[in-house]
Structure 1
Amino acid sequence: MLAVDTCLIAVYTLCIYVPKLEDLVQVYFELEMAEKEEDNLLETVGLPTRLLFRDIKEATRNFHVSIGEGGSGAIFKGMIRDGTVVAVKQIKGQPSRETEFMTELRVIASLQHIKLVRLLGYCLTRRGDRYLIYPFYENGSLDAWLFAGEEKRRLLTWRLRYQIAIDVAKALKYMHYDCLHMILHRDVKPANILLNGEFQALVSDFGISKLVGRYESSVRTKAKGTFTYMSPEVVTHGAISIKSDVYSYGMVLMELVAGRRNNQPGTYGENQQRYTYFLKIAREKLVEGKLIEVADKTLVRSGEVTEEELAIVVKVALWCIQDRPEQRPIMTDIVEMLQKRRSVDLPPRSPIQILSLFHRC
């Protein structure tokens, strides 16, 4: 009888504790990984908080509210224990993404700028999934406003758009010149520009960023990013530099003016004449002094936008997207141009390569 009782107790104990084995294994894994990560990241300044997986599940209510997809995984809304509302970016466990995760962790942890998204914490799991925890920005990404219907675009006034252009330029200037290492973002686009409650812009998503030597003019690597924002030299032979970020930034400027994607056809004028590429029509109208005809109609109706400021932004954009990298300005000069502390000349010609590249889209 004693043997039976002992057996029953053993079975009962297993029933209680076996479901917890998974959690115990995860905790052991996290403790082991914590030591390894500390060794790997000793050189990183401002290392963010390392969270346990159970904290992530609790914060997101078991990944209940999905708020979108990033370049490498789903993004969930949550709340951590101190009451901070957060966005949790999941990076699925794939060997090829391990380097990507560590890149983003190292890059963001070393960045200290008001116009860059701040990393609050991170988590590693034994299954290989990784999580990055950021502040939640209630107005989401720029593309959700810029490429929306007229009602939402109307709220994105010219004053806001102009300030967004300056904010992003300052963030990239910091990455290129004011960090310990030069950092190339490599995927500058509206989806990676977040807006806080006051519509102030912050640059995000550093998953494919690259740290390069301060005196390296260009680095060859596999082309990554979003095709329609890639410079010709990145598309054709994978040559990345600060000038490839400048190019992508110029494409964003054009979309801020147009309120549409650069490869999306549109119309202008009283007769609703059609154009295929905004990049081409923008330069033509710039020369004619009629940029107001092709600007986002919600801006024109507001009466807030001026031909002078449209010309500044479009000139800067056209310089940024010149075919030859050496013709493009640096972010330091771009900030001064947009702040009207430096004059902007008319670019020599319309970019040619980009128009042919758009035919592939």
Structure 2
Amino acid sequence: MKAESARALAAAVTGSLLLLLVVLWVCFGFSRTFFIFLGIDSAAILGIAVWAAINYSSLDRRLSLARRRAVDGEELRAQYSLLRKEAGLPTPFPYDQLEAATDNFRTVLGSGASAAVFKGVLPDGTAVAVKRLPGDARGDAEFRAEVAALAAVQHVNLVRLLGYCLIPRGPRFLVYEFMENGSLSAWIFPGGAARPLPWRCRHDVAVEVARALAYLHHDCRSRVLHLDVKPENILLDGGFRARLADLGLSQLLRGNAARVVTDTRGTPGYLAPEWLSGAGVSDKSDVYSFGLVLLELVAGRRNIRKDGARGTEPGTTRDWSFFPRTAAEMVREGREMEALDARLRGEEMDERQVKGMVRAALWCVQDDPARRPCMARVVEMLCGDEPVETPPETDMVVVRLLGLDEGDEAAPPRPVGERDPSASVYFASVSTVSPR
């Protein structure tokens, strides 16, 4: 019985007994019959009073216990929230909180093939970037891949996942720390920032991203392949320190797995040749993509771009240049400094760093994955005092696989075409794992 019902019943019975005494007094006066009923009535009222006292005491104890449990629960939740924050574990956010934090998703920081990123501020003043993924199978796969990868790793040069939000049969949201200076692409390519990123910062970014990839490949319990390394996925904080972001296409390698054949996805201009040919990917595929990023850091231009004037003639296609091929010629002829971004010439710098970065990049873009260094070795190349050895010549078969051969006018590049070479895409679908 509920407490309110019990109190109402006790009051009703007590009132009825008192009314009965009044009726008996009117009918019998102070007779023997009246006093007999008075004794019975008084005993009943006393019993009800004792029952009410016991019930109230028990109820008070239960309420006190419930209040203590509620207070303890709040303290436990606060402690758990603190532990999650200190441990870097992602926190579930309610949708209305993200909607308020982003002012109804008003400020767009960027968008990709399947996601958009919005700027927001949490109630505690923390600036965040909220990534919205569609609720379809592809969006759900990216959401799960990114949470699985980032929730289990901690590195100063990996973007931090603060939390997430799941809406049944709706979009998924990922909440990241906000990076004040945006993506690297805005700071190294023409048409971006008013002032290009100086050489010292470019070298630091190269080292920091190399360390993040080395951590993912070698120091995680389950090795992580990023599979979409490009300048757009390298973010810069307020001090221009690099954070590797967007692990939505990442793949975990568990146990002794050394290679995985999976969806052909990523960004055409940064895909390793073994992926384009369907031979499967490994950590060396990330090494290849990183090598291409290194060349773009040095040169301040896209590796794949339209050059020349042949495209102005009717019935012809414009030339597509592949900068790694040009850089290899420069290295063979000892002209590595000519690869440097023209906007940086005249700036004080260590030429050994420039030459070392170009050579390290060409080691990374070898056609044969076995000839590419691991990311730990790449970090040594970029940080070491010893000159980097001249890389061996390679055929650069990606030129043929992407249809970029400068002497072939039969057709424009197949995967790239008029598509932005920095945009991530999907092509095919297979899923098998090969042992070491």
Describe how 1:312-327 pairs up with structure 2 within 5 A: 312-327=356-371
User: Does residue 1:172 correspond to 2:217, yes or no?
Assistant: no
User: Does residue 1:47 correspond to 2:92, yes or no?
Assistant: no
Please point out which of 225, 233, 236 is paired with 2:274. 233
CA distance in 2 between counterparts of 1:275 and 1:356 reads 12
Describe how 1:342-357 pairs up with structure 2 within 5 A: 343-357=387-401
Structure 1 match to 2:383:
339
Distance 1:132 1:150, change over 3 A: closer
| 1:68/1:74 contact within 8 Å kept | yes
Structure 1 match to 2:139:
97
Structure 1 match to 2:166:
124
Runs of 4+, deviation exceeding 4 Å: none
CA radius of gyration, larger in: 2
User: Does residue 1:85 correspond to 2:130, yes or no?
Assistant: no
| 1:336/1:342 contact within 8 Å kept | no
1:331-353 deviations in Å (ceiling 9; x for gaps): 01111111115542111104420
Give the match's secondary structure for 1:110.
Answer: coil
CA distance in 2 between counterparts of 1:340 and 1:295 reads 20
Distance 1:326 1:134, change over 3 A: same
Give the match's secondary structure for 2:194.
Answer: helix
Distance 1:306 1:62, change over 3 A: same
CA distance in 1 between counterparts of 2:189 and 2:374 reads 27
CA distance in 1 between counterparts of 2:277 and 2:100 reads 46
Distance 1:180 1:150, change over 3 A: closer
| 1:321/1:351 contact within 8 Å kept | no
Give the match's secondary structure for 1:97.
Answer: helix
- Return 53-62 or 304-313, whichever deviates more: 304-313
Distance 1:165 1:71, change over 3 A: farther
Q: What value does the CA root-mean-square deviation take over the aligned residues?
A: 2.0
Describe how 1:139-158 pairs up with structure 2 within 5 A: 139-149=181-191, 152-154=194-196, 156-158=197-199
| 1:71/1:207 contact within 8 Å kept | no
User: Does residue 1:219 correspond to 2:263, yes or no?
Assistant: no
Structure 2 match to 1:246:
287
- Return 212-221 or 258-267, whichever deviates more: 258-267
| 2:327/2:358 contact within 8 Å kept | yes
Runs (5+) with no aligned partner, structure 1: 1-44, 268-273
- Return 63-72 or 120-129, whichever deviates more: 63-72
Give the match's secondary structure for 2:277.
Answer: helix
User: Does residue 1:288 correspond to 2:333, yes or no?
Assistant: yes
Cα shift at 1:299: 1.3
| 1:91/1:97 contact within 8 Å kept | yes
CA distance in 2 between counterparts of 1:251 and 1:122 reads 32
- Return 101-110 or 188-197, whichever deviates more: 101-110
CA distance in 1 between counterparts of 2:111 and 2:238 reads 21
Number of matched residues?
A: 309
CA distance in 2 between counterparts of 1:108 and 1:255 reads 26
CA distance in 1 between counterparts of 2:255 and 2:207 reads 24
Cα shift at 1:284: 1.4
Cα shift at 1:306: 4.2
Cα shift at 1:127: 3.6
Distance 1:276 1:143, change over 3 A: same
Distance 1:295 1:357, change over 3 A: farther
AA partner of residue 194 (structure 2) = K
| 1:251/1:321 contact within 8 Å kept | yes
AA partner of residue 230 (structure 1) = L
Structure 2 match to 1:25:
none
Describe how 1:180-191 pairs up with structure 2 within 5 A: 180-191=221-232
AA partner of residue 293 (structure 1) = E
Give the match's secondary structure for 1:161.
Answer: helix
Structure 2 match to 1:57:
99
| 2:186/2:193 contact within 8 Å kept | no
Q: Percent identity?
A: 45
CA distance in 2 between counterparts of 1:101 and 1:211 reads 14
Cα shift at 1:87: 0.5
Structure 2 match to 1:19:
none
1:63-106 deviations in Å (ceiling 9; x for gaps): 11111114531110010110011100000111332222111112
AA partner of residue 204 (structure 1) = A
| 1:290/1:307 contact within 8 Å kept | no
Distance 1:287 1:67, change over 3 A: same
CA distance in 1 between counterparts of 2:121 and 2:193 reads 30
Runs (5+) with no aligned partner, structure 2: 1-86, 309-318, 405-412, 417-436
AA partner of residue 311 (structure 1) = K
1:5-54 deviations in Å (ceiling 9; x for gaps): xxxxxxxxxxxxxxxxxxxxxxxxxxxxxxxxxxxxxxxx8531101000
Structure 1 match to 2:343:
298
Cα shift at 1:213: 2.1
1:166-223 deviations in Å (ceiling 9; x for gaps): 0000000000011110000000000000000111100000101011124222111121
Describe how 1:192-207 pairs up with structure 2 within 5 A: 192-207=233-248
| 1:230/1:244 contact within 8 Å kept | yes
1:114-136 deviations in Å (ceiling 9; x for gaps): 00000011001134211000111
Give the match's secondary structure for 1:282.
Answer: helix
CA distance in 1 between counterparts of 2:352 and 2:306 reads 25
TM-score normalised according to structure 2 size: 0.68
